[in-house]
Amino acid sequence: MGGDGTATGTAPDAGRRAVLDEAVRLAVREGLLDAPAPVVGLLDVEGIRGTVARLHAAFESPAPVLHTFAAKACGLVPVLQLLAESGMGCEVASPGELAQALAAGFSADRLVFDSPAKTIDELELAVDLGIAINLDNWQELERLDAVLAARPADDRTPRGPLGIRVNPQVGAGAIGAMSTATDTSKFGIALRDPGAEEALVEAFRRRPWLTRLHAHVGSQGCPLPLISAGVRAAYELAEHINAAVGHRQIDSLDIGGGLPVNFDGDEESPGHAAYVAQLREDVPGLFDGRYALVTEFGRSVLAKHGMVLTRVEYTKSAGGRPIAITHAGAQVAARTVFMPRAWPLRIGVFDADGVPKAGPSVVQDVAGPCCFAGDLTAEGRELPLLEPGDVVALYDTGAYYFSSHFAYNSLPRPAVYGFRFDDADRARFALVREAQTLAEIVAESGAAYADSLVGLVDAGAAESMRAATEGAPGDDPAGNADDDPGRDPGPEEVPACAS
């Protein structure tokens, strides 16, 4: 295999398929799909490294660039460490992702903290560590003002870059939920809203420690011209602010990520080089070295280098259509199951030994184990007819699928392995994450507090019984029931003067 993860002497796309097919065969041989684990994730280590190398090469220019990986795409610590060793930084959007990034060995100066809901504690931690922060809204900016003002007078200058995220409002891509630059997006300060640009100029003028602008148009479904238009809006705003304040205060631009991925074939398309070409055409000043750049790619780095493997447990037919029941469904491919048109996956079919299966194509469904009818990873797909014991591969699942488990039916998270071929074409597998055990599922389900709710009921019943016993008439051990102030007197007890 070549150093970019392709088979030696083959075209990249054909080489990628050869790598994946061989990985399936060897994973089966190694017993990675044996019971009790009939579903597993695989990551191509050399494929990932090759994509990162091409990313760095695409952005070569006088402008210094920090490529950060969007941790949300795959927050598994071994994956993050591999990316750190490959020269990437990390973009995090929650305390959990920050903890994962730190565990993977990223230094503070290679981290970017994004989130529309940062707490005071999170802001204070990021400032203490010197992590770059992209502020999302005016209230957060005021909150950061207070955080800095509360620090000692000699420690109010942030060590990490601080910037503001703007929403360039350039429109939506094909998937609305993935589009973050619509007129009403929840992210950033809406740039085209009345008075927003003037307010941003004043915010930078009053705060010399604000040195960065951030814009991110969206993710899958956003075409290159739309993404580029968002970057151009941020670039032009930076130029305007710097001119207004009279010096180059903004010295870096975080242009986000969002490069879409081709789910129709093996090739990396459109690819980072095509994206840079679009940027050079639309925003030529971006690369002249006046601004340091930050990117936040996730899906485009990992998606093509991961796959989910699962065994076919049963096959059946309904309405004349064959259906293969597998162990991979919504729990590992939630987006594909619930939004199949937006997130289709290519399906690979292998026999029980992991060898690509031949034969005439038959229209059939590939179903998962979840207890609802729509749990399908492929519907009406033409594939070689699947049989019990066969292996199904869900391609292009390296990003989001492994780190976004959906615990429907309390199905366990599958194990994830990385694989790599050496120069002699020998494959090695390394465990990235163990399969979740049933004991862990039960523990996470609150087993340690099993009697807590029943305890509330029992305690409430006991309290009610005590109250009823203590307050019941005639319970005075001295027989002074008539002294009960809450007891209505009978007619014979009415005093004479009341008649």
Catalogue the active-site residues. Answer: 371
Q: Quote the tokens at residue 416.
A: 């994830």
Q: Which strand (E) or helix (H) includes residue 315?
A: strand 306-318
- C-alpha 54/C-alpha 268 separation (Å) is 11
- C-alpha 219/C-alpha 297 separation (Å) is 9
Strands 210-214 and 189-190: unpaired
Side chain identity, residue 348:
G
- C-alpha 322/C-alpha 310 separation (Å) is 18
Residue 236 Rama label (left phi>0; alpha psi -120 to 50; beta): alpha
State whether the Cα torsion 279-282-283-285 is positive or negative. Answer: positive
Side chain identity, residue 28:
V
Backbone angles phi, psi at 210, to 5 degrees: -80, 115
**Distance, C-alpha 393 to centroid of its chain:** 22
Q: Which strand (E) or helix (H) includes residue 134?
A: strand 132-135
State whether the Cα torsion 207-212-217-220 is positive or negative. Answer: negative
